Amino acid sequence: MSFDIKSILEHSDIQEQKRTLKNINQYFYTNYKGIGKIKVFEQEFEYFSDFHKFWEKNHKKILNPTIHEEKCESVADVLHDLFVKYGKNIFLELYDTLDLTKEEICKVRLFTANQDFRGSRNFSEFAEIYRSDPSVFDIKFILEEPQTFLAKLQLQGLSQSDKRLRYAQITAEFLYSNGLEPFDLFSYANEDYLEIRKLLTELKGSGFGNKKTDMFLRDMRQLNVWPQGKNYDKIDVASDVNTIRVALRTGILKTDIPLISSFLDIFCYQYVLLDKMNAKAWRRVWEIWKDKYPTETIESPCQMDYLIYKIIGKELCKEKLSFFKCDSEGHTFFWHSSRNSTCQVCYEEKRERKRASLIFKDLPCKYQEGEIYVSRNRRIQEKLPELRECPFTKICNSKDPNFVKLQPPKSISILGRTGWTTAMTRKEEGGGGLMS
């Protein structure tokens, strides 16, 4: 049976329309006494709706995310080519550590990894704060005065400050009660990266989710703070929307239907599933690469992170190429920056400044002219000099008119002001939902 909700709603009489809409709303967005309970973060909640139950049970079968073997091999081949051309360094995020010792690097990174939610602050900024006053990172001090600690790091007054206090305090508490410095975690966990990972991610309220933990571990190995030890190769790429986006567009990860909107995935089942499968897909790429070219592979999938996340995901696989139209003479041109308001054709030809308007922004890899952007992006050129287009362009086939710019899932918080737990309502009561 094919069901066309558009024609049912739009081409029926008003009585039918009323019934249909009431039905849709009840099914997706309301609950009732006896609907059942679900445990989230150690707390019990009623199911949000019948759809919530359905989606919990069936999201895996319906989305059916699969890893595409041939695509993984193509991506592995590209990584191989890049490795041969540019060397291992493109896979390393090399911080300026300001000559701090291994112990100091570890301490600074551990206490900031769970605070820098968007990864926008430089390691060297924090290292500089340490250098000017190491006592700021004293574990007992952080435990007793987390507020001052955050202030010294200029992390105060930012979003979610209660959370931040807890993160600092719980991490410090754990170290203090075990008589450990962050550097000692390695021997404490039997030189096993998986054990350290378990330790941190199970430290409730410390802010060490999978992604932050994996990035921290990657850094400790990469900066040579800790030796190779055990199970470093079990650490995955730090999965996030950027790496998921690249996985979907290259096709190493595929779903049976396009991802659903976060309006429907308010319980985050889709996001969690994709997140998990994404890490597996990148691991498969790494395995193929390692098997095919055993002499050159990086130590662990987590080390692909910098190239895939920061360079490809954030600089290349985004709407970074701008298309402008000249207001007075109708010239059109691509430009590397959207912050331009001048017709560069008029300027080039007659050195005259005429206004131009931004018409659209799109992926650089879709156009021959994408080169303008790629060759002028400093972050790309620093690591990959002379690169002219995204190295995955042929795999994504993005110049093909049938190319679909697949989008990563969006995650919605489960608890809090904008979470679904505050959006609940009863069937007969109506209303419910979110407001800002």
- Interacting residues toward Zn ion by CB under 5 A: 326, 329, 331, 343, 345-346, 354, 365, 390, 396, 398
Decide whether 299 or 371 has the Cβ nearer to Zn ion. Answer: 371
Q: Which residue is nearest to Zn ion (CB)?
A: 326
Decide whether 348 or 382 has the Cβ nearer to Zn ion. Answer: 348
Decide whether 170 or 365 has the Cβ nearer to Zn ion. Answer: 365
- Output b/e per residue, 361-385; b: 16+ Cβ within 10 A: ebbbbbbeebbbbbeebeebeebbe
CA distance 307 to 384: 10
Q: Taking the complex as a whole, how short is the minimal distance between the CB of residue 343 and Zn ion, in angstroms? A: 3
Q: Taking the complex as a whole, how short is the minimal distance between the CB of residue 254 and Zn ion, in angstroms? A: 16
Decide whether 112 or 398 has the Cβ nearer to Zn ion. Answer: 398
Q: Taking the complex as a whole, how short is the minimal distance between the CB of residue 328 and Zn ion, in angstroms? A: 6
Give the number of other Cβ atoms within 10 Å of residue 52's Cβ: 23
Q: Are strands 43-46 and 37-40 parallel, antiparallel or unpaired?
A: antiparallel
Q: Taking the complex as a whole, how short is the minimal distance between the CB of residue 232 and Zn ion, in angstroms? A: 30
Decide whether 81 or 329 has the Cβ nearer to Zn ion. Answer: 329
Decide whether 104 or 315 has the Cβ nearer to Zn ion. Answer: 315
Q: Taking the complex as a whole, how short is the minimal distance between the CB of residue 285 and Zn ion, in angstroms? A: 16
Identify whether the C-beta of residue 75 lies closer than 8 Å to the C-beta of residue 392.
yes
Closest CA to 310 of 138, 170, 119: 119
Q: Taking the complex as a whole, how short is the minimal distance between the CB of residue 303 and Zn ion, in angstroms? A: 22
